[in-house]
Amino acid sequence: MEVTIEKLDHYGRGITRINDKICFVDNALPTEIVEIKNLEEKKKYFQAETEKIIKPSINRITPICPFAKECGGCQLLHMDFASENKWKEQKIKEIMKKFANISENKIQNIIAESPYNYRNKITLHQQKNKVGLYKNKTNEIVEITECALIDKKLNSLINNIKTKDETIILRIGNKTDEIAISTDKKKIITSYIGDKKYRVSLQSFFQINSKITEKIYEAIKETLKTKEAQNVLDLYCGTGTIGIYVSDVVKKVLGIESYKEAIEDAKENKKMNQVNNITFKLGKVENLTQEITKIYDTVIIDPPRSGLDKKVVDKLLEIIPKNILYVSCDPITLARDLNLLQKKYEIEYIRPYNMFPRTYHVECLCLLKLR
């Protein structure tokens, strides 16, 4: 069956219609005429794969990765990078309008860097001496010799992995080039964001794209200077990366994080950077709302994909800090939370960052000011 692709959905899949029902098509771009296969009917939609491209889009490119078709980890390798950035910007505009009624003019231009070799970490899987990545939506291993998204120095290690472990994590330090491998004794490395250095253990959360991370942290720091922030609350602070990065432009920072290992790393990071005006508390943010008080004029939020607990939103609306800086890796939960916070806050801007090139994911930084 031949179909014409109208647009992309928010996961980078082509959209067409069959018998008045929406159909999602993998590996297809807007305006393309494609022949589809493996058509599967669900209750409310169809899904299919591209068998053959009859009329390609001018934005189509040949994927640079030989494993692209099987792996499925990158949804946009067949789209040129300029089009990817434009689509991600539009995606944020659509989501914010639909779920939070936020005007398009609040969405700034997307910030992007190189689309390849940006990742400082990869998790590989091994079965029967095959080392690679999981095939999309399966537990089947796609054996790889390299990944176009990871640091070149990590790529050079893939072919020499000798271990019986089922999961292998590789991580490299920004600027230090220190490497940690889960099968080695060395499980902790030093990594930089800007001029701040951080202890990073294999399991702890640390942003995988150092160039984009630095741009986000620098934007937060500049905003705190412009807004003359004094007392800052850093919620879901992880290993203390943002709080430590901005500590030299504010009076005091309190970081709250629920993972014990991350708090231990945060305390080490505080010592490494000789920061004296930051403290860390262990616990779930929603269980420590008594710490969220009116002494804080500014709140930085970088929550997990699930966004903010309702208790946290209610507490912020109660203490009404002058400014909230919200870093999000999921635009849907960001829009949901902004919808609630707009009761007392105005959105100054939402800026998308292409933290995860060649995938459908997009990071956002949002600045809210008290009405």
Contact 277, 251 (CB under 8 A): yes
Contact 84, 354 (CB under 8 A): yes
Among the listed residues 351, 369, 352, 336, the one whose alpha carbon sits nearest the alpha carbon of residue 100: 336
Q: Which residues pair with 239 in a beta bridge?
A: none
Q: Six-digit token pair at 87?
A: 């689509």
How far is the C-alpha of 66 from the C-alpha of 245, rounded, in Å? Answer: 39
Q: How many residues does the chain have?
A: 371
Q: Which residues pair with 354 in a beta bridge?
A: none
Single out the catalytic residue among 23, 74, 237, 329: 329
Q: How distant, in Å, are the alpha carbons of 57, 257, 275, 287 from that of 278?
A: 52, 13, 7, 20
Active site residue 65: no
Instruction: State residue 63 phi and psi, 5-degree precision.
Output: -55, 135
The contacts of residue 111 (CB under 8 Å, 6+ apart) are 212, 215, 351, 352, 353, 354
Cα-Cα-Cα-Cα torsion 355, 25, 40, 91, nearest 10 degrees, comes to: 50
Positions marked catalytic:
329
